Structure 1
Amino acid sequence: MELKIEEFQLEGGFELELPAMYPARQKFARTKIEAQAIPALMHTESQRKQLATKIKPGMKIAVGVGSRGITNLQAIVKATITELKALGAEPFIVPAMGSHGAGKAEGQAKILAGYGITEAEVGAPVRASMETVYLGKAFGDVEVYFDRLAYEEAEGIIVIARIKPHTDFKGEIESGIMKMLGIGLGKHKGASYLHKGGMGDFAELIPAVGRHIIEHTPFLFGVGIIENSFHETAHIEIVLKDQLPGREKELLAEAKRLMPKLLCKEIDVLIVDEIGKNISGSGMDSNIIGRSSCNQSLVFDAPPINKIVVLNLTKETKGNASGIGLADYTTVRTVESIDFAALYANSTTAVEINGAKLPVMLATDQKAIVTAIRTAGRRKINDVKVVRIKNTLELDQILISENLVNEAAGHAQMEVGETAVSWTFDENGNLIK
């Protein structure tokens, strides 16, 4: 798709001396598990949770793996597979990602391959299918669907899931093991059905559906992952089915404690270099930017942000621009890179489509940034407070405009560099990273 945007009349014009930007380091708690420590950790967890009493030689085990960009995902999956095979099991991997990958089996297998989740890399075949079985009703009259391969061809089921705050609802259980059971392994059909009523009751619906699936399938355990504020592995734990949902509630509380944030009091223009499904289910995390694509009444611990500019999609998102609608401005280049089939399959499954709507499009990064600054709600351009981030997962190193330096320097969790960083655009007016 090729778009052409005619230049419009912008008060003040598209030429503007952009504010000096200074590197700032945001300091957060840093508990970290190194990749090389994961195999031994998983072995210890396997013994601690006495998996040998639950997994018998020859058992076929379906391992659900999702589409999120989890640090060390390949290492965690491989270590899990290794432990299962050491116990004599015959594991196979099933995508647990609802409607992602344009709602197609080949698309979901491709996403996993992009994370290095292949038989050659982790030691178990990937079996992708969108076929489901009907498991009855939960939470009153809510129909529950589940991955057919996992249900019919496995004697045990596990899921590997990052536990974190959800972007569009709040509860004791949000994103994690229970959600992956109901929505991830519900495939396109199950995810679509659970979203039909919107997310207003998800805080109760997700645990109820998860419990129903645990009771009606050979589910064994989940591998719960928590990441720190630096998008690093902070905690890995095997959570047995009889520990759910209680233990997941505790792990979610810890994930919230470790979550990063933007520490500035207020931001007039936030420039986001990239968004994607590997970054967040909503492309850029609502908990960070304070905007939800489907629930405007949620309260987030985030600074007020007047205008958001999105400059790119991540390579890993494969054109799924979910969350682009949370931005105010973007570029023609970004829109041209969107796979609308993937975006629309994802957003219509979730029922709420605001995240798929397109922001105001500008021809270049430079024009998008200038337009955002000129419309940021300040009478004086020099008063506009600008912050630039890579994405909403990596917030330890950010750039702040000169008028935020004093505030940042006085913050106990921030350090500011002494040398400004230049705005560098290529011949097409796009920022050079």
Structure 2
Amino acid sequence: MNLPKMALVKQQFSSQKIQDVESHLVQELNNHLPPLARGSTVAITVGSRGISNRVEMVKTLIEYLQSKKVSPFIIGAMGSHGGGTPEGQMEILHSLGFSEETMGCPVLTSSDVVEVGNTPHGHTLYCDKLAWEADGIIVMNRIKLHTAFRGPNESGLLKMITVGLGKAKGANQLHRQGPEKMSATVQEVGGSFLNTGKIIAGIGIVENSFDETAHIHVIPPDEIIERERELLNVSKDYFPRLPVDKLDVLVVRNMGKAFSGTGMDTNVLGRTKIFGVPEPSTPSIKRIAILDLDDGSHGNATGIGLADFTTEKLYQKVDRKKTYLNCMTSTYVQRAMIPMILSTDQEAITMAVESLASDLPEQLRIAVIENTLHLEKLYLSETLLPEVGQTVSVQTEPESFTFDEQGNLTFFT
């Protein structure tokens, strides 16, 4: 088949970032963390997302608290991820660099929650039992667009309270509301939990388009809702997108939890696969081929159902139990459905092109990306090059798709 020739291009994104993350965080803590009683215990939430510099930030926070004669500990706060078990979540924490040896404090996981109250509309406030038994909790999370719902509060500190601390029960309760009510539910549950007085502070992180730390803010509990809304708008300005809105084929080399909660960010794909909810009008992509699953996802292939074609190597890495639990908890079961499985990258890409039944396949609109998080560099078919704006520079002359002897795509290698 005559596939289009592809050129490597580079997008120009804002490169604003914090140069010294540790010093910046210490300054924020000095300015905004309230005084804590000597000998008190503080739980620090750590989730499963691949947040840049998080190990350094958590380590800095721990050392700061210890210098104030406070006893911190890390609590795994990740809903149903890791198979929803303490062992699975501990495996994720260790893989991210969080252990008692590296952090200098206890690292704990639990599936037990306690009910600590109710919201005005009858939602239950769930909290990880170990975290609730602490004298206080510091919630830390990245603030960004969510992959399933829209609203003034999306992914961030309130969602960490609702789902991270709420574990599987909190996640189930949230997702049962449906996408149209999830932002309001996060606000209500998170806000009601803040009223318990258990949250000492929130640490909100915003990353730039290069997955680098651009903002760190230590936020008092009574300001978390409004400050998170402001930082969500900031994050939208950084959000990396494809340089064109319409594609015939998108090839994604790698998916996984390190790149998005859905393995592939729905905001990049223009697909949500939520039954009964219309798909976004842009971007519009006719076929998606996903080639591999990142090892850091530990077999969780949530989001594979967003694609149309995949490979045998990816399928062999899928842990169905972890994947199904994640999708059952979210209620978005379509995201666990397996696409057509081909033996190699080459066959998956070729099949995606053939499925369009084009008389001129060499003129199709195709893009190849490493993953949906890192979009600075990507390959575009030569037919797309006249459409890109001044923020995109062409790095190479158009070249044919290249594969190794095993049929693996060699772009980005």
Q: How does the TM-score come out when normalised to structure 1?
A: 0.91
Partner of 1:47: 30
Q: How does 1:266-345 map to 2 (within 5 A)?
A: 266-294=246-274, 297=277, 300=280, 302-345=282-325
Secondary structure class of the residue paired with 1:216: coil
Secondary structure class of the residue paired with 1:112: helix
- Aligned-pair distance for 1:419? 2.7
Cα deviation 1:134-159 (Å, max 9, x = unaligned) = 1232251222211000002x101011
- Aligned-pair distance for 1:102? 0.5
Partner of 1:376: 356
Q: Does 1:97 align with 2:75?
A: no
Equivalent residue for 1:180, pick from 160, 163, 167: 160
Secondary structure class of the residue paired with 2:24: helix
- Aligned-pair distance for 1:167? 0.6
Distance of aligned partners of 1:112 and 1:46 in 2 relative to their CA distance in 1, 3 Å threshold = same
Aligned length: 411
Partner of 1:420: 398
Partner of 1:112: 93
Using the alignment, how far apart are the partners of 2:105 and 2:41 within structure 1? 11
Partner of 1:213: 193
Q: Tell me which moved more, 421-430 or 237-246.
A: 421-430
Using the alignment, how far apart are the partners of 1:303 and 1:244 within structure 2? 32
Are 2:139 and 2:161, in contact at CA under 8 Å, matched by a contact in 1? yes
Partner of 1:3: none
Secondary structure class of the residue paired with 1:179: helix
**Structure 2: unaligned runs, 5 residues or longer:** none
Are 2:127 and 2:165, in contact at CA under 8 Å, matched by a contact in 1? yes
Using the alignment, how far apart are the partners of 1:76 and 1:113 within structure 2? 16
Partner of 2:9: 24
Are 2:250 and 2:288, in contact at CA under 8 Å, matched by a contact in 1? yes
Distance of aligned partners of 1:112 and 1:301 in 2 relative to their CA distance in 1, 3 Å threshold = farther
Partner of 1:431: 409
Secondary structure class of the residue paired with 1:201: helix
Are 1:287 and 1:301, in contact at CA under 8 Å, matched by a contact in 2? no
Secondary structure class of the residue paired with 1:203: helix
- The amino acid that maps onto 1:28 is F
Using the alignment, how far apart are the partners of 2:278 and 2:231 within structure 1? 21
Q: Tell me which moved more, 423-432 or 90-99.
A: 423-432
Using the alignment, how far apart are the partners of 1:62 and 1:101 within structure 2? 20
- Aligned-pair distance for 1:403? 1.3
Q: Tell me which moved more, 101-110 or 78-87.
A: 78-87
- Aligned-pair distance for 1:393? 0.6
Equivalent residue for 1:131, pick from 100, 112, 115: 112
- Aligned-pair distance for 1:378? 3.6
Are 2:253 and 2:292, in contact at CA under 8 Å, matched by a contact in 1? yes
- Aligned-pair distance for 1:336? 1.1
Q: Does 1:400 align with 2:380?
A: yes
- The structure 1 segments of at least 4 consecutive aligned residues displaced by more than 6 Å after TM superposition are none
Cα deviation 1:49-107 (Å, max 9, x = unaligned) = 1x2x4312111000001100111111111111122112211000001100000010011
- The amino acid that maps onto 2:46 is V
- Aligned-pair distance for 1:418? 3.4
Are 2:272 and 2:279, in contact at CA under 8 Å, matched by a contact in 1? no
Secondary structure class of the residue paired with 1:312: coil
Distance of aligned partners of 1:26 and 1:377 in 2 relative to their CA distance in 1, 3 Å threshold = farther
Distance of aligned partners of 1:222 and 1:421 in 2 relative to their CA distance in 1, 3 Å threshold = farther
Partner of 1:11: none
Q: Tell me which moved more, 99-108 or 289-298.
A: 289-298
Using the alignment, how far apart are the partners of 2:390 and 2:282 within structure 1? 17
Distance of aligned partners of 1:69 and 1:295 in 2 relative to their CA distance in 1, 3 Å threshold = farther
Equivalent residue for 2:212, pick from 219, 226, 232: 232
Q: How does the TM-score come out when normalised to structure 2?
A: 0.96
Using the alignment, how far apart are the partners of 1:252 and 1:301 within structure 2? 22
Q: How does 1:360-375 map to 2 (within 5 A)?
A: 360-375=340-355
- The amino acid that maps onto 2:185 is L
Using the alignment, how far apart are the partners of 1:211 and 1:298 within structure 2? 29
Q: How does 1:118-197 map to 2 (within 5 A)?
A: 118-152=99-133, 154-197=134-177
Using the alignment, how far apart are the partners of 2:409 and 2:297 within structure 1? 20
Using the alignment, how far apart are the partners of 2:160 and 2:317 within structure 1? 28
Cα deviation 1:95-127 (Å, max 9, x = unaligned) = 110000001001111111111111222222111
- Aligned-pair distance for 1:295? 6.2
- Aligned-pair distance for 1:188? 1.6
Using the alignment, how far apart are the partners of 1:295 and 1:73 within structure 2? 34
Cα deviation 1:170-202 (Å, max 9, x = unaligned) = 000000000000101111222123222333310
Root-mean-square deviation (Å)? 1.6
Using the alignment, how far apart are the partners of 2:141 and 2:87 within structure 1? 21
Using the alignment, how far apart are the partners of 1:180 and 1:264 within structure 2? 33
Are 2:114 and 2:128, in contact at CA under 8 Å, matched by a contact in 1? yes
